[in-house]
Amino acid sequence: MSPADVLIDCRDAALTFGRGPNAVVAVHGAALRVHAGDRLAIVGPSGSGKSSLLHLLAGLEQPTSGSVTWPGLSGLRDIGLVFQGDSLIPALDIVENTALPLVLNGMSDDRAREAALSALALVGTADLADRLPEEISGGQAQRVAAARVLAQAPRVILADEPTGRLDHATGGRVLDALLTAADETGAALVVTTHDPAVAARLTARCTMHDGRLTSADSTEADAAHSLGEPS
């Protein structure tokens, strides 16, 4: 792999919340490279630091030590993050929420709406287009958050437990949509999950435990691919 293929380079990045006796180390020096075409699962229990790590990769949090850089991206807009928690804007209906990043990027309202409706259909939520976020379920909101990223067609998709609030069949459909989108656009896909069945559908796996990231794949080649030591 040439260095140009590295989209996100996370070198020994740590993230601590709070100070002094109340400090919580959410991520201990994590080393991870994300390349174009990667399909990586990050598996770990609740509180192990998965969301914190994704927020570092997305540039939403600054590392307390170490670094995160994006050598192969032209900006953080190339990254789409499917948030784990509520992330929809209450005053906008579902199609407006889904189209918003496109409109902010300069796309016309009509084209953005069309792209948003296609993305909503991919995760089975097109019929919710005219509702407000308060009028849909938590699992439906999670699917809309995925659609909002699919509509953007980013070069890196970071999906934070995208199936966490979904039944098996619906979760499978969302994962299908993410995998298909990544295949079609050549995007990298990083998915956090508690669910081994979800992790099994990605091609590489890491585990997160008490803020420590390790490769869960058995072969050296896989480990070297995803968990590169800084060179």
Q: How far is the CB of 129 from Mg ion (least distance, A)?
A: 28
Q: Any contact of residue 48 with Mg ion (CB under 5 A)?
A: no
Residues engaged in binding ligand ATP (CB under 6 A): 17-18, 24, 26, 44, 46-52, 84
CA neighbor of 55 nearest in space, from 35, 76, 86? 76
Query: Closest CB to ligand ATP among 52 and 98?
Result: 52
Position among 7, 40, 51, 208 found at the interface with Mg ion (CB under 5 A): 51
Q: Which is nearer to ligand ATP, 14 or 136 (CB)?
A: 14
- Minimum separation from the CB atom of position 171 to ligand ATP (A): 15
Q: The sheet that has 65-69: what strands, in order across it?
A: 24-35, 6-17, 65-69
Residue 218 interacts with, from ligand ATP, Mg ion, none (CB under 5-8 Å by kind):
none
Contact assessment for residue 156 and residue 8, using Cβ atoms and an 8 Å cutoff: yes
With both helix axes pointing from N to C terminus, report the angle between 109-122 and 138-152 in degrees, rounded to the nearest 10.
130
Work out how close the CB of 1 gets to ligand ATP at its nearest, in angstroms, rounded to a whole number.
28
Is the CB of 3 or the CB of 18 nearer to ligand ATP?
Answer: 18
Tell me the site size for Mg ion, rule CB under 5 A.
Answer: 3
Q: If contact means CB under 5 to 8 A according to the sort of partner, which of Mg ion, ligand ATP, none does residue 49 touch?
A: ligand ATP
Using CB under 5 A as the binding rule, the residues of this chain from 67 to 106 that contact Mg ion are 84
193 touching Mg ion, by CB under 5 A:
no
Least separation in angstroms between residue 216's CB and ligand ATP is 15
C-beta of 35 vs 55, nearer to Mg ion: 55
Return the axis-axis angle of helices 94-104 and 109-122, rounded to nearest 10°.
Answer: 130
Sites of contact with Mg ion (CB under 5 A): 50-51, 84
